[in-house]
Amino acid sequence: MDIITAVIVAALGVLLFLYVKYHDRGIFSPPFIDGVPILNSNGGFPLGHLKKLVSSIDWRLESLLESFRDGKIGEVWQQSMPFIITVVTLNVEDVKHVLTNPDVFVKGEDFRSKFHDLLGDGIFNSDGDTWRVQRKTASNIFNVKNFRDVYSDIIVSESKTLVAHLRKTRENNAVVDLQDLLLRSTLDSFGEIAFGESLGCLDMDNGMIVGGRYMMKTSEFMNAFDAANNQVLLRFSNPFWQYTDHFTGHHRSMQDKMEVIDRFCHAIIDKRLSGEKKSAASKAGKMDLLDLFLAAAKEDDTHLTYTELKDICLNFIIAGRDTTAQTLSWLCWNVAQHREVERKIRAEIRRVVGDRDPTYEDFKNLKYCQAVFNETLRLHANVPGNRKTCIADQILPGTKTPIPKGTNVEFNAWAMGRLTSSWGPDCDVFRPERWMTDDGNLMRVDNFKWPVFNAGPRLCLGVNLATQEAVMFLAQVYKNFHLELVNEDDPSHWGLYDKDPSKRRGRYGLAVTLVMKGGVDFRVHDAEAF
């Protein structure tokens, strides 16, 4: 240990001691807001609410919901980590106020600094004019014409590759982690849509059988990207990460990962700038994401630096890959436990699509499939907790909660999807029919009551793309296969394992998005056999 490291460790030790002894002093915790319940406040224990938070971290969402249902907290409460108070609300009016005022409830410096290595100043990690300019440019690629003429073909072609892997799995009677296949599939199709380049993660010759399991060769980019993402997450539980990263080796390893990621993005951007590679969109006379950003810069007579282009690439990959792949994994997990839903999906596919490939026009008619997707997101919001920093004194209108400037405000879309007040007494049941109207159409629901795609000016730009991808995937997979869920009794899949399935909690991992813990294993059978 060198002298600098020793000084930092000693300083942190003193700080920890002071925090344990004087945790309630203003320097460690801003004063709690009067009249707002405190989550998991734990009497005299020095670390108070932190104790319970840490002990239930692996099933934190159920723990939160149970506290709400037991009446220990209302629809708004506050919790603290050292130096930070966060007010969490489940109230629809409060959520509307937060999301319709993105210049007051901002991503903020704390979020930005933690994500800066990975996302730079991209759309996901920016506020104000930097965000507005990128949003305006990017929103141009998500138009109906592009969906109809370009994306549908890419999505169908990618889902056919996925089906080919599932067929190989079935022929070998192997078990496959579907989440891994889906993460590769969404990365490849998104690469094609946004940058005119399939990233090759799902190439057929990457598949192999090892000990009865269908596995894919590792991808250097995917590994580096996932590891960098996980490292960013660790920063959220360590207020001193900027210092500790230097002697835990995290700083160096983040640089190594970013080098791999940079190399990968460099290759894509260089090819495009040199004119060597044309995107699928530009071949069809349209523009993809890179084309659009390059054209916008040309129009303004400005020049996009390599770093700006790289930030654009990574922000869109992070936005589009995990969210869609993980939601589809939850979808298949639910469908495997509801045979009647699987039958209805297959009946709709046979009626609308028959034996051919699905098209853009079919998408609108696959209404039950869309309902299954929505119901999955209702119970498994992929971004469960969404936090903003409030930069001016505010009052949340629904719960009349005063919010001093500098406070974090979060809404929990996972818990909001399970409120009896919004979804009725059967809110814990997976029932896609709740999304269908009596005349067979899809029910429209207020975005602020169901903020799984965010809402207001920062509504997810990929809602339609994700829904179309999901429905095409459903059509291709369930037309061909019945997926049998296996290995759910493996304790490593659960945050809290019990022999009695009804007592299990925390099927998700610790991440910003709702990843399925340890993946999700299926054995693949012919649809006819079901």
> What residues line the site for ligand HEM (CB under 6 A)?
123-124, 135, 138, 316, 319-320, 323-324, 327, 382-383, 386, 452-454, 458, 460-462, 465-466
Nearer to ligand HEM, 40 or 329 (CB): 329
CB of 33 to ligand HEM, least distance (A): 23
CB of 383 to ligand HEM, least distance (A): 4
Nearer to ligand HEM, 36 or 138 (CB): 138
> E strands within 319-441?
385-390, 394-396, 401-403, 408-412
> E strands within 359-451?
385-390, 394-396, 401-403, 408-412
Helix (H, G, I), strand (E, B) or coil at 482: strand
d(CA 239, CA 311): 25
d(CA 165, CA 148): 26
344-347 contacts at long range (C-beta below 8 A, 24 or more positions apart): 344/368, 344/432, 345/369, 345/372, 345/474, 345/478, 346/478, 346/479, 346/527
Spatial CA neighbour of 453 closest among 466, 435, 472:
466
Residues 6+ apart with CB under 8 A from 66: none
d(CA 399, CA 402): 9
Determine the longest span between alpha carbons in the chain, in angstroms.
73
Nearer to ligand HEM, 181 or 524 (CB): 181
Helix (H, G, I), strand (E, B) or coil at 242: helix
The burial class, CB within 10 Å (0-12 / 13-18 / 19+), for 27 is exposed
DSSP characters over 167-205: HHHHHTT-EEEHHHHHHHHHHHHHHHHHHS----TT-GG
CB of 318 to ligand HEM, least distance (A): 9
CB of 353 to ligand HEM, least distance (A): 22
CB of 481 to ligand HEM, least distance (A): 22
Confirm whether residue 201 is marked as ligand binding.
Answer: no
Is the torsion defined by CA of 417, 423, 428, 434 positive or negative? negative
Nearer to ligand HEM, 85 or 138 (CB): 138
Nearer to ligand HEM, 32 or 147 (CB): 147
Tokens 């084309």 — which residue?
291
Spatial CA neighbour of 312 closest among 180, 141, 184:
141
Nearer to ligand HEM, 466 or 524 (CB): 466
Q: How many CA atoms lie within 13 A of 111 on its CB side?
A: 20
Nearer to ligand HEM, 219 or 382 (CB): 382
CB of 461 to ligand HEM, least distance (A): 4
Nearer to ligand HEM, 174 or 470 (CB): 470
CB of 278 to ligand HEM, least distance (A): 21
> Which residue in the shown chain puts its C-beta closest to ligand HEM?
462
d(CA 292, CA 146): 13
CB of 382 to ligand HEM, least distance (A): 4
CB of 466 to ligand HEM, least distance (A): 4
Nearer to ligand HEM, 19 or 435 (CB): 435
Helix (H, G, I), strand (E, B) or coil at 186: helix
d(CA 190, CA 372): 22
Annotated binding site for heme: 460
- Residues annotated within a binding site: 460
